């Protein structure tokens, strides 16, 4: 007998991946240059030179024991210390290696922390637009996933809505800033208001509500937008981080969770998340990648290409009449469908080989996502199609 819900989850491809596969098939028919694929969030710039050099250096050593062997379950102590030292220096807080647990990217970090917090009847809140995997991550780690609509003016938090979502069963709120797909970066004001609300609720319910800060885009901001270190504003925060986007290495699977020392019951939560990682087989993240992270903990990405793409697509689309909040981070544009639902609009665009992701799975069926981690030339070629589509209904 097979578990039916796992079967269903494993048999249904994500809408993003379906569009991506459709694009590959269309390219065989109409030519690659005639497919405008804005579907997937695969970093389109090469990894930073220091990272490439570190990989070369590590693999050329030929030292199987040092580079390719099992590390301790949470990771190599030197690599954990390097990440902790970098975080401590940037945030001026006493983070050390025992607060860091390496994972295969942000996804298993999230799942481990969520599993550690699941209790009978527990609830986790996701704020729209949210990364589609949050729902299965929450539901299959034993939580009810509660959706809170954002403030659509600017994609900051709508606190009246959030307060309605919080109950005595709320265990955590997932905060994703810079946000995939809206590109919003939460302001200090937003985070302080969140902290006030949660402190009030913690008092009322007699237990902490955790913030799970999902931060794969932490270093990807533009125009000087600043990503605040949330534990400084709200101590009961766990950070889930990934090098997928910042080092352009999504397939290499490396990230971590960090339970900072200020977090309530932090030691117990860290151990519980480590236990969850253990039962899911997510221990000893790839050793080579840990070594690279150790050597490159302070490396920052060059955002010139993403910034140019963001400006080109935003300026063109808004000049045609599309509505979109100017993204301050990540590498996506989240655009209001000019007519019909975003699914209908995306289906229409597909007929022109323009692949954009309807926002249904992000909790926003009126919006579509266009990734800007694509080539500048492809964006330029796609613009007449975007214009044609909006002009059709004028
Ligand atoms: N969280 C968000 C908001 C993401 O956009 C992604 C990947 O696109 C992830 C988590 C998962 O990241 P990773 O590839 O490191 O597992």
Residue 63 has pLDDT above 90, yes or no: no
Residue 173 has pLDDT above 90, yes or no: yes
- pLDDT the model gives residue 162: 98
Whether the model pTM is above 0.85: yes
Q: What are 336's strand-pairing partners?
A: 323, 367
- pLDDT the model gives residue 130: 98
* Percent over 90 (pLDDT), the chain: 94
**Domains of the chain from N-terminus onward:** 4-47+302-393 (3.90.1150.10), 50-296 (3.40.640.10)
Q: φ, ψ for residue 333 (rounded to 5)?
A: -115, 135
Distance (Å, rounded) from C-alpha 389 to C-alpha 49?
40
3-state secondary structure of 156: strand
14 alpha carbon to ligand 1 midpoint, in Å? 14
3-state secondary structure 293-351: HHHCCCCCCCCHHHHHHHHHHHHHHHHHCCEECCCCECCEEEEECCCCCHHHHHHHHHC
Residue position matching structure tokens 């902290």: 195
Decide whether any atom of ligand 1 lies within 6 Å of the 346 Cβ: no
Q: What region, left, alpha or beta, does residue 363 occupy, with left being phi > 0 and alpha being psi -120 to 50 degrees?
A: left
Decide whether any atom of ligand 1 lies within 6 Å of the 131 Cβ: yes
- pLDDT the model gives residue 375: 96
Distance (Å, rounded) from C-alpha 147 to C-alpha 194?
16
What stretches of the chain show up as alpha helix (H) in DSSP?
Answer: 4-11, 15-30, 49-61, 77-91, 106-116, 134-140, 159-165, 188-205, 230-233, 266-279, 287-295, 304-320, 342-350, 376-391
180 alpha carbon to ligand 1 midpoint, in Å? 9
107 alpha carbon to ligand 1 midpoint, in Å? 6
8 alpha carbon to ligand 1 midpoint, in Å? 22
Cα 216 off chain centre by: 5
Distance (Å, rounded) from C-alpha 259 to C-alpha 170?
19
Place 62 in a pLDDT band, splitting at 50, 70 and 90. Answer: confident
- pLDDT the model gives residue 127: 98
Decide whether any atom of ligand 1 lies within 6 Å of the 41 Cβ: yes
Q: Whose CA is nearest to atom 5 of ligand 1?
A: 180
Q: Is the dihedral of CA 351, 354, 355, 357 positive or negative?
A: negative
- pLDDT the model gives residue 68: 87
Q: Whose CA is nearest to atom 2 of ligand 1?
A: 131
The 10 Å Cβ neighbour count of residue 6 is 10
Residue position matching structure tokens 């970098």: 86
Non-local CB neighbours of 307 within 8 Å, separated by 6+ positions: 222
Place 394 in a pLDDT band, splitting at 50, 70 and 90. Answer: confident
**Furthest-apart CA pair in the chain: how many Å?**
65
Mean pLDDT, the chain, whole residue set? 96
Q: Say which range, 40-44, 183-187, 200-204, 264-268, has the weakest mean pLDDT.
A: 40-44
Q: Are 274 and 100 in contact (CB under 8 A)?
A: no
Place 12 in a pLDDT band, splitting at 50, 70 and 90. Answer: confident
User: Residues 321-370: pLDDT tens digits?
Assistant: 999 999 999 999 999 999 999 999 999 999 999 999 999 999 999 999 99
Q: What is the helix, strand, coil percentage profile of the chain, to 5?
A: 45, 15, 40
């Amino acid at each position: 007998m097979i578990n039916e819900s796992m079967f269903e989850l494993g048999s249904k491809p994500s809408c993003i991946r379906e569009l991506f596969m459709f694009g590959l098939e269309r390219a065989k028919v109409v030519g690659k240059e005639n497919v405008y694929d804005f579907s997937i969030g695969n970093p389109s710039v090469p990894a930073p030179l220091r990272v490439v050099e570190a990989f070369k250096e590590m693999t050329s050593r030929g030292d199987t024991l040092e580079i390719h062997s099992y590390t301790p379950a949470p990771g190599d102590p030197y690599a954990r210390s390097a990440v902790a030292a970098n975080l401590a220096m940037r945030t001026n807080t006493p983070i050390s290696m025992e607060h860091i647990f390496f994972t295969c990217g942000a996804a298993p970090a999230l799942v481990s922390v969520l599993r550690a917090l699941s209790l009978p009847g527990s609830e986790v809140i996701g704020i729209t637009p949210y990364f589609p995997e949050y729902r299965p991550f929450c539901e299959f780690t034993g939580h009810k996933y509660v959706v809170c609509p954002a403030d659509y003016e600017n994609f900051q938090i709508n606190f009246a809505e959030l307060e309605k979502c919080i109950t005595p069963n709320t265990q955590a709120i997932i905060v994703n800033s810079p946000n995939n797909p809206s590109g919003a970066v939460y302001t200090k004001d937003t985070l302080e208001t969140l902290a006030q609300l949660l402190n009030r609720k913690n008092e009322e319910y007699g237990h902490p509500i955790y913030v799970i800060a999902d931060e794969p885009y932490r270093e990807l901001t533009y125009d000087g937008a600043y990503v605040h270190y949330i534990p400084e504003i709200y101590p009961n925060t766990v950070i889930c981080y990934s090098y997928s986007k910042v080092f352009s290495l999504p397939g290499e699977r490396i990230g971590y969770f960090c339970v900072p020392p200020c977090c309530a019951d932090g030691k117990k939560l860290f151990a519980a998340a480590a236990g969850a990682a253990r039962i899911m087989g997510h221990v000893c993240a790839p050793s080579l990648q840990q070594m690279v992270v150790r050597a490159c903990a302070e490396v920052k990405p060059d955002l010139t290409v993403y910034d140019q793409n963001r400006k080109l697509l935003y300026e063109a689309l808004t000049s045609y009449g599309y509505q979109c909040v100017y993204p301050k981070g990540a590498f996506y544009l989240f655009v209001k469908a000019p007519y019909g639902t975003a699914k209908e609009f995306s289906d229409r665009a597909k007929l022109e080989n323009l692949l954009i992701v309807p926002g249904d799975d992000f909790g926003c069926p009126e919006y579509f996502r266009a990734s800007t981690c694509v080539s500048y030339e492809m964006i330029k070629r796609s613009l007449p199609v975007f214009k044609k589509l909006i002009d059709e209904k004028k």
